[in-house]
Amino acid sequence: MIRFSKRLLLTSAFLALFSPYGFAATAAKDAPKATAANPSPSEIIIARVNGKNITKENLDVATNNLLPLMTYHNAVSGEKMKDIEKKALEKLINNELMYKAAKDLKQDEVKQKEIDEQVKELKKRLPKGETLAKVLKRSNMTEADLKDDFKRDIVVARIARKKGEELRKLSDSNVNEAYMKDYYQKNLNKFKEPEQIHIRTILVKADPSGGQRVWNESLKKAKDALASIKGGQDFAKVAEKTSEDPFAKKGGDMGWAHKGSLLAEIDEATSKLKVGEMSDPVATIYGYHIIKLEGRKPPVQKKFEELNKEKLKKELEAKEYKKLWEGWLKGLHDTSKVEILQPL
């Protein structure tokens, strides 16, 4: 029975062995001796795809390949590690399914020159004093095993690339004007301009690290400004004199903004105001704001003709491609025997 992803084992073990973490060397030194009660990772079968085994060893190596080298295990939570393991297992299964699909289509021929180039590149990565023969021996592999794995990788990459190009053309063809219009009609809320508000603001800054005294002084200054406006002074004039944000020069005029695009505290305060009204001082991380609502526009449903069709087409093509790709993989699953023997 063919072993799974031998080259993954070789390259990951090789990289880890010479990394600052020395993971492979440590694992080999500290690993308990395999027994019937305590089998080695290479003996624990996690899944089987069309009769081919995926072992715990294969999964560990594939998982390590998905981890950032510098973070490694110590910086990844247990929950995150489980997610990475699931993705690694999915990748191993999908690669085997794609390899079988290529074989069924008689698209698994690879020129020996391509394989030899891969071996040559791998040899270039060996540290001084290391040889491929030594690393292969430590990984319990032969050069023939390595070349077989390179062949499988080339075949999988080739069929994935070819199928990807085919599905991209299909998604481009599927997402036409009628497709976009149908999507628009079924997702009207996604094409609705949210409520807009026009506000003026006065900001009296407070240093977050200044302590309660600083915040109290800022609040008093904000209240004094509010009292001046209520006493008859023009909001814009007070803003120009008092406010400490970039809008002070414009009399505090922030212009129109979509609801939800401002600070949550400001959004909440304006939701309680009628046009022409002012808020009491509102505390945010920047200090205290006085807000005046100048205008409010209700939500507006955008017409299909007003949409950025080019942007929408790209977004829908990406979704359509993903759906087609996942559908293709599902078809490969449905025509294969995939057994999960050790649920993650």
More confident residue, 147 or 6: 147
CATH number at residue 226: 3.10.50.40
User: For position 21, what pLDDT does the model report?
Assistant: 31
The token pair at 185 is 């009609």
Domain membership flag for residue 38: yes
The CATH number of the domain where 74 resides is what? 1.10.4030
Higher pLDDT among residues 3 and 165, named by residue:
165
Residue 21 sits in the same domain as residue 153: yes
275 assigned to some structural domain:
yes
User: Which token pair is 110?
Assistant: 């690879």
Residue 198 has pLDDT above 60, yes or no: yes
d(CA 22, CA 201): 58
Q: Where are the alpha helices (DSSP H) in the chain?
A: 6-17, 23-30, 56-66, 78-104, 112-124, 132-138, 143-174, 177-186, 211-230, 235-242, 264-271, 309-334
| Residue 9 reports pLDDT greater than 60 | no
pLDDT at 141: 83
Looking at the structure, tell me whether residues 131 and 19 fall in a common domain: yes
Round to whole Å and give the CA distance between 89 and 63. 8
Q: Above pLDDT 90, what percent of the chain?
A: 68
Measured over the CA atoms of residue 103, residue 107, residue 109 and residue 114, the dihedral's sign is negative
Q: How many domains does the chain have?
A: 2
Decide if 322 is inside a domain: no
Amino acid 138 reads R
Question: Shortest CA distance to 56 belongs to which of 78, 85, 27, 81?
Answer: 85
**Do the domain assignments include residue 317?**
no
Residue 81 has pLDDT above 60, yes or no: yes
- On whether both 211 and 67 belong to a single domain, the answer is no
Q: Does residue 214 sit in the same domain as residue 269?
A: yes
Q: Check whether residue 99 and residue 206 sit in a common domain.
A: no
Q: Please report whether residue 110 resides in a domain.
A: yes
What is the tens place of the pLDDT at every residue in 84-142?
899 999 999 999 999 999 999 999 999 999 999 999 998 988 888 889 998 888 877 88
Mean pLDDT (the chain) is 87
Mark whether 123 and 36 lie in a shared domain.
yes
What's the mean pLDDT in 262-287? 95
| Predicted structure pTM score | 0.68
Exposure string over 35-69, b if 16+ CB within 10 A, otherwise e: eeeeeebbebebbbbeeebbbbbbbbbbbbbebee
Question: Do both 254 and 154 map to the same domain?
Answer: no
Q: For residue 257, give its domain range.
A: 195-298
Same domain, 288 and 333: no
% of the chain with per-residue pLDDT over 70: 87
Residue 80 pLDDT:
85
Residues 86 and 231 in one domain: no
